[in-house]
Structure 1
Amino acid sequence: MLDRSPKTPLSPLVGDGLPPERRIWAVVAISVAVAMASLDTAIANIALPSIANDLKVSPADVVWVVNVYQIALVATLLPLGALGEIVGYKRIYLGGLLLFTVASLACAYAWSLPTLLIARVLQGLGASGLMSVNSALIRFVYPSRMLGRGYGYNAMVVGTAFTFGPTIASAILAFGPWPWLFAVNIPFGLVAMAIGVRTLPSTPRAGHGFDFLGAGLAAICLGLVIIGIGSAAHRASAGPVAAELAIGLVLGLILIRRQADHPAPMLPVDLFRRPMFALSAATAVCSFAVQGISFVSLPFYFEDILHRTQVETGFFMTPWPLVVAIMAPVAGRLSDRHPVGLLGGIGLVILGIGMVLLATLPVEPGILNIVWRMAICGLGFGFFQTPNLRAIMSSAPPGRSGGASGIVATARLTGQTTGAALAALCFALAGRDGATTALALGAGFATVGSVMSFLRLTVQPAKP
């Protein structure tokens, strides 16, 4: 086992970004891998009915194809981010990409629900390797003066993947069976690995050892919290939900106490002592809670209240991620020159206005009346996302980029899961009016997030 001394310094930093030609290819490797992981999240939901019919399982059982992937992903983000600081982000990224590609092959050849679930767990672990250090790698690919632009391009890739994911999945299923949805990852994964091995940067490594017990505590803690929130969203009994959340909280407190003197704690409380980092992470949770609330409640609103078809609903959901993909690089360039607190605050104000506009739709709105409101939400979210990501990563020391990158992904998934749970609660309490209630709640989250973002204007940036 590696030495766990808290006093071992970091290895020296590398230069400020990669040379332009190598940077382009490194970005290609990162973009392909991130697009794969993002597409997989989007297309798996589309494939569930086909998987249930083919494997002869119930809808309640086949939902675990999505759930186990999500749990494996969230539970291992912080441990893998911490491990990346020790062994290098490139190794974690390429290891995650290899596992994701192999697991995709296993998913394609799964012959039963248990074998598919095992393969999906492995795929979630591979995706965690990608997501946990993705933001950290970008920090070393781009020079500091272009960092916002780099995060903007990355957000554009994710937004584009989510936008066209359902369409791509439907096109594949029109010509072949559901295993093709997973098999299509294999050639792209191999290409991304071949490019990444040659072009991704070798990053500084921490000299301290890896806390395996701490990693286990972090994984179980986050896993139980996400399971508890998800159980609440599915209206499980109050007793088990409370137990899952309480045990997760207790394990988190044990982890914090255990790593109190660690130079790079698994649960990065050292980073949360930096006001800019703490405010940016909290703002991220609020914004993604808005997204989670919206993407759960709006399909029900469009189909049950407005009596639109599934095809129309898919069309109505498209403007949000599409405008995010367009705005992300624009906001990224602006964040290289203007305060992120101002940009993020303006973005969340626009998002809040969009949520209010959706909650107050007329009884029989026309197509354009819906589309422009969704576009307003995408405009606000896209204007916020990239500057906030830049703020989180820039407010952490370079040697703690792995911990910061893990928090980026954890904040996103925690916010989305919490938002989905709150949307389900709104439906349980308000029935058919639950969608409108949920959208109003989303506007409240956007308001709170905008206030926290503007507070960053009063905070002096922490020195690395």
Structure 2
Amino acid sequence: MRLFQTRPGDDGLPGRERALAVLALTTGTLLAVMDTTMVNLALPTMAADLDVPASRAVWITNIFQVVCAAFLLVFAGLSELVTRRRLYLFGLGTFLVGSLGAALSRHIDVLLLFRALQGLGAAATLSIGPSLYRMIFPSRLLGSALGLSALVVAGGYAAGPTLSGLLLSVVDWPWLFAFNLPLGVCSWWLARRALPRETPRQGSFDTPGALLSMLMLASFFLAMDAVGHTAPLWQSGGWLLLATVACWGFVWRQRRARYPLLPLVVFREMRFTLAVSASGLAFIGQGLTFVALSFFYQEQMGFSALETAWLFTPWPLGIMLVGPLAGRLADKINPSLLSSTGLVFLIVGLVALALVDEQTSALGSLWRTALCGIGFGLFQPPNNREMMGSLPPERSANVSGVMSTTRTVGQSLGVALVGAALALGLSIQMTLWFGALTSALALVASLSRVSLAQRALLQRRASSGSR
């Protein structure tokens, strides 16, 4: 396979070691992604079995997401001191301990504790995943590697609800967590054997920056959750104020720290900054659309939860089909043009979804969702390549943390916007139009860097030709 062929002068790992390392990364990523989607579908069953109200049961998902979001930047910065290999092994091991504890839990408080532990482990693995791909693969295959990463994530999103439905039809909900154990143990063994070793950075850790980062991201997520669940204004406003103050403190600290958690100098590279902006806006549109359509399909069209999951399947399937090809093309042609083209498809698909009504057939919804998935699959790997390739390799851990945080914040903001729109009495269609608008703004950001990316591509080709 092309991804695992070695050429003279290649950086990264040799072919066979590369294949084993990628297998470890893909299985670990699948665990974290599928776990979230599997649990979401099982929340009503878990609430009934644990004898807790739905408002309490949603924290089985929320606690995982809050902890995961809070530690993404922290672990990305910490990886430079402890090495990415050790951090990944720690994260995967922590996730497995959390999974075992969750499978054995019979009380909501105990379950929430182990779900938080799972979130901590997931943050450690997801925060450095893209930078590990850059470390494993040669630079000439970076786009293809990130396309493979998009394929794995999309596959997890596609398989999670279906697998959850199948498991719940034959076993109880604790098996959703026990399912992680055999695959996770194999992934940990592979990672210990195959992930590359590196020399840790010398210097101190930015502890004040880490604490401010955790406070900023956790309070922002709680603010978005409060908005999404139409909590009192003082509650959502209080969390948002705390997030704003923590953000100001975090920026102040990063400008003065000798070894900042997130060197703000990375944002001077306009290719990187515009790619981050496009990513965040596109993920707002995706997060918003997923939640809005869930309400529309179930409340207005009368579909069950499992039928709704099937109606969403074309989106991740579209990413799975197009993402690897888009990543491969991004190694050869202007990635900004590719990602901009993908955003055009995404916008058209979102506009088409905004025009659905109760008379629209399931097939009519499926092709619209598929168009969105194809567009997102064409957008994400080239855009991720721009983020990762626009900065030197020694910044890859920072880039990886920013990528993960941008995705999490964007999706959370999209979910909150749906809750706010419903609280204001706006229709689902109006919400979908807003998703199309945020994607249009992402397109503006993406097009703004086309000439910059083309210049970088020509320089990369000239450098390769001179070797």
Partner in structure 1 of residue 299 of structure 2: 304
Structure 1: 5+ residue runs without aligned partners?
Answer: 1-13
Q: Distance in 2 between matches of 1:211 and 1:275?
A: 25
Partner in structure 2 of residue 360 of structure 1: 355
Whether 2:255 is the aligned partner of 1:255: answer no
Partner in structure 2 of residue 54 of structure 1: 49
Matches within 5 A, 1:68-87: 68-87=63-82
Q: Distance in 2 between matches of 1:394 and 1:196?
A: 24
Q: Distance in 2 between matches of 1:176 and 1:307?
A: 27
> How much does 1:425 deviate?
1.7
Counterparts in 2 of 1:315 and 1:259: CA distance versus 1, 3 Å: closer
Q: Distance in 1 between matches of 2:335 and 2:257?
A: 30
Counterparts in 2 of 1:52 and 1:94: CA distance versus 1, 3 Å: same
8 Å Cα contact 1:430/1:437 also seen in 2: no
Q: Distance in 1 between matches of 2:275 and 2:387?
A: 6
Partner SS for 1:259:
helix
Partner SS for 1:155:
helix
Q: Distance in 1 between matches of 2:390 and 2:398?
A: 12
Partner in structure 2 of residue 110 of structure 1: 105
Matches within 5 A, 1:418-457: 418-431=413-426, 434-457=427-450
Query: Which amino acid is 1:240 matched to?
Result: Q
> How much does 1:64 deviate?
0.6
Partner in structure 2 of residue 139 of structure 1: 134
Query: Which amino acid is 1:439 matched to?
Result: L
Partner in structure 1 of residue 176 of structure 2: 181
Partner in structure 1 of residue 396 of structure 2: 401
Query: Which amino acid is 1:275 matched to?
Result: M
8 Å Cα contact 1:256/1:267 also seen in 2: no
Which of 309, 317, 323 is equivalent to 2:318? 323
Percent of pairs with identical residues? 36
Moved more, 212-221 or 376-385: 212-221
Q: Distance in 2 between matches of 1:420 and 1:264?
A: 34
Q: Kindly report the root-mean-square deviation, in angstroms, between the aligned alpha carbons of the 2 structures.
A: 1.8
> How much does 1:32 deviate?
0.3
> How much does 1:190 deviate?
0.9
8 Å Cα contact 2:254/2:263 also seen in 1: no
Q: Distance in 2 between matches of 1:86 and 1:378?
A: 38
Partner in structure 1 of residue 406 of structure 2: 411
> How much does 1:267 deviate?
3.6
> How much does 1:255 deviate?
2.1
Q: Deviations over 1:180-202 (max 9, x none)?
A: 10011111111011111111112
8 Å Cα contact 1:149/1:336 also seen in 2: yes
Q: Deviations over 1:136-178 (max 9, x none)?
A: 1000111010111111111101101110111101111112111
Counterparts in 2 of 1:461 and 1:82: CA distance versus 1, 3 Å: farther
Q: Distance in 2 between matches of 1:370 and 1:328?
A: 22
8 Å Cα contact 2:335/2:382 also seen in 1: yes
> How much does 1:226 deviate?
1.0
Q: Distance in 2 between matches of 1:204 and 1:354?
A: 46
Q: Distance in 2 between matches of 1:187 and 1:316?
A: 30
Question: How many correspondences in the alignment?
Answer: 449
Partner SS for 2:106:
coil
> How much does 1:263 deviate?
5.6
Moved more, 266-275 or 370-379: 266-275
Q: Distance in 2 between matches of 1:212 and 1:49?
A: 39
Q: Distance in 1 between matches of 2:403 and 2:319?
A: 17
Q: Distance in 2 between matches of 1:363 and 1:53?
A: 31
> How much does 1:356 deviate?
0.5
Partner in structure 1 of residue 239 of structure 2: 244
Which of 339, 345, 358 is equivalent to 1:344? 339
Query: Which amino acid is 1:154 matched to?
Result: S
Q: Distance in 2 between matches of 1:204 and 1:445?
A: 41
TM-score by length of 2: 0.93
> How much does 1:205 deviate?
3.0
Partner in structure 1 of residue 220 of structure 2: 225
Partner SS for 2:231:
coil
8 Å Cα contact 2:254/2:264 also seen in 1: no
Q: Deviations over 1:323-373 (max 9, x none)?
A: 111111011001101112111111111100100111112551223221111
Query: Which amino acid is 1:148 matched to?
Result: G
8 Å Cα contact 1:42/1:166 also seen in 2: yes
Q: Deviations over 1:41-86 (max 9, x none)?
A: 1011122122212211111111111111000000000010000122
Counterparts in 2 of 1:51 and 1:363: CA distance versus 1, 3 Å: closer
Whether 2:19 is the aligned partner of 1:24: answer yes
Moved more, 248-257 or 412-421: 248-257
> How much does 1:105 deviate?
0.3
TM-score by length of 1: 0.93
Partner in structure 2 of residue 199 of structure 1: 194
Counterparts in 2 of 1:189 and 1:309: CA distance versus 1, 3 Å: closer
Moved more, 392-401 or 318-327: 392-401
Whether 2:120 is the aligned partner of 1:125: answer yes
Q: Distance in 2 between matches of 1:142 and 1:123?
A: 28
Which of 62, 66, 74 is equivalent to 1:67? 62
Q: Distance in 1 between matches of 2:152 and 2:202?
A: 34
> How much does 1:312 deviate?
3.0
Partner in structure 1 of residue 4 of structure 2: none
Q: Distance in 2 between matches of 1:20 and 1:168?
A: 32
Structure 2: 5+ residue runs without aligned partners?
Answer: 1-8, 461-467
Partner SS for 1:46:
helix
Moved more, 313-322 or 363-372: 363-372
Partner in structure 2 of residue 382 of structure 1: 377
> How much does 1:306 deviate?
2.6
8 Å Cα contact 1:264/1:270 also seen in 2: no
> How much does 1:404 deviate?
0.8
Query: Which amino acid is 2:436 matched to?
Result: A
Counterparts in 2 of 1:127 and 1:266: CA distance versus 1, 3 Å: same
Partner in structure 2 of residue 158 of structure 1: 153
Partner in structure 2 of residue 6 of structure 1: none
Counterparts in 2 of 1:380 and 1:177: CA distance versus 1, 3 Å: same
